[in-house]
Amino acid sequence: MSNQGGAIAVERDFQPMAVESRYPPPKGAIHPDRARSWLRRALPVMAAHKAMFLTALLMSFASLVLTLFIPLLLDKAITNSIIHRTVPLMFYVWWVVGLGLAGTATSYVSRLFLFETAFRIEFDLRNIIYEHLAQLSFPFYDRVQSGQLISRANSDIRSVQMYMAFAPMILVQCGIAVVAFGFMLAIDVPLALLAMVTMPFVVVLGIRMRKSMFPVSWLIQARLAEVATIVDENVNGVRVVKSFAAEPQQLHALARTADKVQWAYVKDADLRARFSPMVQNLPQVGLALVLLYGGYLIIHGHLGIGAIVAFNSWLLMLQAPFMMLGMIVMMGQRAAASAERIYEILDEEPTVLDRPGAVDLQHCTGDVRFESVVFDYGRDAGGPPVLDHFSLHVQPGETIALVGRTGSGKSTVARLLARFYDVNEGAVLVDGQDVRDLSLSSLRAQVGIVLDEAFLFSASIRDNIAYGRPAAGPDAVVAAATAAGADQFIRALPEGYDTVVGERGYTLSGGQRQRIAIARTLLVNPPVLILDDATSAIDVQVEQEIHAALATLLRDRTTIVVAHRLSTIGLADRVVLLDGGRAVADGTHAELLATTPLYGEVLAQADAAALNALDADDTAAAYGRTGVL
């Protein structure tokens, strides 16, 4: 697109709108085989960082092994330096200090690499989920609550990341028990076996704890997602809530859902309170047995004092890993529940995607054809389709207006042309090519759509207008804003084009948001333009200014206008009347008024609705000026 004398010139070649990410894609991905366990499916993500992760585990193992040598030195120090006095005590002191420093260094490296690996795994999981969400089609978003998606992309990912990164570390610490047990066997075999006699009971309790906690962990994550959904809807719909003074009602809904979360957490705490004390304290029974039998051996001269000190030190070291065993079981069950919820998203298949061999739409002339299209949204099984053998041909450069009652299928026509959905029967053609045979990126680069609900991002107005072409220069942004009738009010804002709008653009009026949305599409400058009731929130005077600018721009492009106002219909070369999902009349405004009574009825209803809306706007404006009604 170029800016020549304030006008926007049309380019027909396909130019990718997407901007390349500065960040490389994740090196690993979730394995697609649904028959695998959740952990085996996630292993490729962990394997992508195996060098750093294995280094962290190796350093952790080394740190623990160094720590295990200290009780052995204590045994030697007591025997050789205190009892027999054959070796200077400082000899063992320096060895203990040296091992302590070496253990500190290896522990530092281990923790540093472990946390970096954990955050890299979390980064990869977030990107994997978001990339998949970006590929999913509109039918998925029609049936899934945004709060559920937010919960799974945040708290569920954190649960999986915590387990994947820290569970192996805890298992390494439990594995060090094998080395410690070897040292204990070297001192006294019966005493070592007696010390470990409680461990089979710990394993059995851990398995029972795992089975009991899984359903509760799933319930917690699901109910947290319900809370996130309510909060998300209340934040986004705060104007509706306040307009109906429904704050107590919504607070009650949140409290009811939060109470369910509280019950699940209490149940989780109850299970942990039952199992964790036994899992953590059973090893201390082994310590009591060691003191009893070891004391007997010392009294009868079969074991040295230093040996029993070392033995007890190793046994105390073994308690920490087994105390964490309950935590790892809890983390594992929560991670398993979270992973299953994440996989529910990742296992969803997009229904609208590029076919094998799809070609780019280039040098688009704007010839649009609907051939006997049948379509429904799949929500009303057995009901009439939204479009029922709908046919329409729009010549290149032609502007048509789609008129009809609410639910007649006008907006659906726009969504099918941009291939937000695929038709059930028939075909949608652009330049004689079925849109299903074209790449989505090229089709949507050539077919621009301005929806009736203008969505803006929490960014500057300049960035919102340049969303489709981030590299566009300031002159091009201003030219698009001028064409949309937005330049004047933008310059009146405190920071002009650098003004940051609030979430969804609610710091601007509805008409201002729609003008920015129009400018955003005009900047991309598509050869096929769809205005889906895009001026519904704009007053008549501003609409006339926009139409004056659009009248020039629409000469060089194919335009489909979903219209309700006569002023919008005036932009069109011809008018198509829809009823029952079909085109029932086609001609100029004057021809349809003269020959089709239904057309006059539809316009009369639209005028009545517009008058009601105008009265509401006048009332709101008066209230805004005076603060009273």
Mean pLDDT in residue range 455-471: 86
Instruction: In whole angstroms, give the CA distance from residue 124 to residue 118.
Output: 10
Q: Which residues contact residue 343 at a Cβ distance below 8 angstroms, ignoring those fewer than 6 apart?
A: 30, 34, 38, 41
| Residue at token pair 């769809």 | 530
Pair of tokens at residue 272:
């942990």
pLDDT in tens, 258-316: 888 888 888 888 887 777 777 767 777 777 777 788 788 777 777 777 777 777 777 77
pLDDT at 434 over 90: yes
Tell me what percent of the residues of the chain surpass a pLDDT of 90: 10
In degrees, rounded to 5, the angle at the alpha carbon of residue 599 between the alpha carbons of residues 511 and 410 is: 50
Residue 180 main-chain phi, psi, to 5 deg: -65, -40
With a cut of 80, say whether residue 537 has pLDDT above it. no
The pLDDT of residue 618: 45
Q: What is the DSSP string of 161-219?
A: HHHHHHHHHHHHHHHHHHHHHHHHHHH-HHHHHHHTTTHHHHHHHHHHHHHHHHHHHHH
pLDDT in tens, 583-597: 899 988 888 888 888
Q: What's the CA gap between 335 and 341, in Å, rounded?
A: 10
> Model-level pTM greater than 0.75?
no
Residue 243: the pLDDT is 60
pLDDT score at 610: 53
**Where are the domains positioned within the chain?**
38-346, 368-452+527-626
Sorted by sequence, the CB contacts under 8 Å of residue 604 that are 6+ apart come out as: none
Digit-coded pLDDT (tens) for 171-191: 887 777 778 778 888 888 888
CATH 1.20.210.10 fits 38-346, yes or no: no
Of 428, 326, 330, 351, which Cα lies nearest the Cα of 387? 428
Report which of residues 616 and 580 the model is more confident about.
Answer: 580
- Distance CA(197)–CA(433), nearest Å, equals 76
| DSSP helix/strand/coil, 404 | strand
Q: Give the pLDDT score at 3.
A: 44
pLDDT by residue (tens digit) across 209-240?
767 777 787 788 778 777 777 777 676 666 56
- Report the mean per-residue pLDDT for the chain: 79
Q: What is the mean pLDDT of residues 450-473?
A: 84
Tokens found for residue 494: 């405190």
Residue 9 pLDDT: 44
Q: What is the pLDDT of residue 10?
A: 43
Lowest mean pLDDT segment, chosen from 38-47, 61-70, 244-253, 494-503: 244-253
pLDDT by residue (tens digit) across 108-143?
999 899 989 988 888 888 889 888 888 888 888 888
CA–CA–CA angle 172, 327, 319 (5° rounding): 60
Q: How far apart are CA 101 and CA 106, in angstroms?
A: 9
Superfamily of domain 368-452+527-626: P-loop containing nucleotide triphosphate hydrolases (3.40.50.300)
Q: Which residue has the higher pLDDT, 20 or 569?
A: 569
* Cα–Cα distance for residue pair 226/384, rounded to 1 Å: 33
